[in-house]
Structure 1
Amino acid sequence: MTKPIKVHLCPAGPNPWKVVLLLEELGVPYEINSFPFQEVKSKPYTDINPNGRVPAIEDRNTGITLWETGAIILYLIEQYDITHKLSYPDIKQRHLTNQYLFFQVSGQGPYFGQAGWFNVLHSEKVQSAIDRYNSELKRVLGVLDTVLEGKEWLVGDKITYADLSFATWNDRIDSLILCAPEDKFKGFLNVQAWHERMISRPSWATCMDKRAQLMDEQGLLPNGMPKGVSNMEEYEAKMKADAEASK
């Protein structure tokens, strides 16, 4: 019997849920170790991931511990997608799928994250940075919209791990660039239809229900900030004060 894979995460960020979504789709047992953001840069978590980022996984079936979502996703597909539910066995489609996964981890994630930082979390409004990363976010959407023209999925005729890897960041575009929810895919109809196909899947609802529960347990707002905190500077001050008070 397969032992549950332990997924270490802070619930607010989008990256951990890429991994949980994949596990749900594959039907692989897992258990979540959810902890507050202020613990991500300290032991015992940094013994698992010295980079101090989430997620990380521990697979007791193989003795493998991994961090970095791209590496985790490729591992889970190789180890557990033996029927190729979310992947392809042939060399061409396999490498095309990896191409889009790497576009997600090197393009979408960093640019979308910086857009969220400068629009929402940074204590000072730096308009040049806001303009740059909002523009890059839309450029990435434009690339995806072009690729998806006349297609339902990025590669071949079925959903793959590459498609799923984009869902969690795309879902929060409105909170990253502070637009109306109905406008987050404005001008990118192919991306919108693709995203709606993914979030209509049962795996998505399960992940978002788990995220909402864990966020509520930690008293977090949808943007990841604690209630009553509006930017990262205030959050860091609060974490410092809480640490002092606990001594």
Structure 2
Amino acid sequence: MSHGKQFTLYTHKGGPNGWKVAFVLAELGLTYESVYLDFNKNEQKAPEFTKYNPNGRIPALIDHKNKDFTVWESNAIIVYLVEKYDTAHRISAATPEDKILQLQWLFFQASGQGRACFSPYFGQAIWFKVYHAEKVPSAIERYQKETARVISVLDGVLSKQEWLVGGKYSVADISFVSWTNAALAAVLPDAQGVNVEKDYPAFWAWHQKLISQDAIKAVWAEKSAL
């Protein structure tokens, strides 16, 4: 593989976790080549990929200008990118306290919102709603409600402040975008008694601001074109 671009991002065309890394790369103006693994062929479990990520999940990132330093787990990748390449703290926390708050939200996003292989709530909701071989209404309802609960947590915080950390747009906010898009498209449209725009107005306004950011729009257009 030619390394004309600084990074190689191993990802998946539909996987939300890969796209949130792409958002950060684009925001920082870093050049990257995306390698889209074919899950139908189990390429994420093949030795060619597990040599980079032994867990066999996307994404994984290789930094060719840093001795091919490799990191996996999407939010660990995001922390690496801003620690090394956002020294001006344009989209990341600057103070020790804000860095902890940034980590707090990145952990919450990973554990509460979405995760590769559909572990936390948004992921489970999508699994039972879209991919599970049989319809299990009780499971769908449970995870739709948990998805709404996570949104309600964010809405409560965002009703008091514009952004999650430091009074500015940052990776803490960016990390939520792709899973929120997935939930709004696939999970919540038919959730009984849930109207995100009406019920969670602060969350809705925040998400609209996020998807209007130039870098996020550009990357999402790239996704839509695949």
Deviations 1:12-44 (A, max 9, x none): 111100000001111112111123223222231
Deviation at 1:186, TM superposition (A): 4.1
Paired position in structure 1 for 2:56: 52
**After the TM superposition, which of the residue ranges 114-123 and 26-35 deviates more from structure 2?**
26-35
**Rounded Cα–Cα distance in structure 2 between residues aligned with 1:125 and 1:3:** 44
Residue 216 of structure 2 corresponds to 204
Identity of aligned residues (%): 44
Give 1:183 deviation, angstroms.
4.2
Letter in 1 for 2:187: I
Taking a change above 3 Å as real, the CA distance of residues 115 and 186 of structure 1, as seen in their structure-2 partners, is farther
> How much does 1:212 deviate?
1.9
Q: In the alignment, which of 175, 182, 202 is matched to residue 172 of structure 1?
A: 182
Paired residue type of 2:186: L
Alignment partners' CA distance in 2, 1:178 and 1:78: 35
Render the CA deviation track for 1:58-80: whole Å, top value 9, x for unaligned: 01121311110111011111110
1:233 maps to what in 2? Answer: none
The unaligned stretches of length 5 or more in structure 1 are 215-247
Give the CA deviation at 1:178.
5.3
1:123-142 aligned within 5 A: 123-142=133-152
AA in 2 matched with 1:120: V
Whether contact under 8 Å (2:144, 2:188) holds in the other structure is no
Residues 9 and 59 of structure 2 are in contact (CA less than 8 Å); yes or no, is this contact kept in structure 1? yes
Tell me how large the CA RMSD over aligned residues is.
Answer: 1.9
Q: Which amino acid in 2 is paired with 1:65?
A: T
Query: What do the CA deviations read for 1:172-207 (whole angstroms, capped 9, x no partner)?
Result: 223332516x94444111111000101111111211
Report how far residue 156 of structure 1 moved.
2.2
| Counterpart amino acid of residue 41 in structure 1 | K
SS at the partner of 2:45? Answer: coil
SS of corresponding position for 2:51: helix
Where does 1:36-185 land on structure 2 (aligned, <5 Å)?
36-37=38-39, 38=41, 39-63=43-67, 64-109=69-114, 110-177=120-187, 179=189, 183-185=195-197
Q: CA deviation at 1:88?
A: 2.2
1:209, CA displacement in angstroms?
A: 1.7
Q: Separation in 1 of the partners of 2:196 and 2:126?
A: 13
1:19 maps to 2:21: yes
* Amino acid in structure 1 at the alignment position of 2:213: R
Residues of 2 paired with 1:114 and 1:163: CA distance? 21
Q: Does structure 2 retain, via aligned residues, the 8 Å contact 1:119–1:178?
A: no
Partner SS, residue 26 of structure 2 = helix
In structure 2, give the amino acid aligned to 1:51: N
Shift of 1:3: 5.1
Paired residue type of 2:156: T
Please identify runs of 4+ aligned residues in structure 1 that moved more than 3 A: 182-186
- The residue identity in structure 2 corresponding to 1:210 is E
Q: TM-score, normalised by structure 1?
A: 0.81
Equivalent residues of 1:116, 1:175 under 8 A apart:
no
Equivalents in 2 of 1:149, 1:205: separation in Å? 24
TM-aligned CA deviation for residue 101 of structure 1: 0.8
Answer with 1 or 2: which has the greater Rg.
1
Contact 1:173 1:184 in 2 (8 A): no
Contact kept in structure 2, 1:26 and 1:80, CA below 8 Å: yes
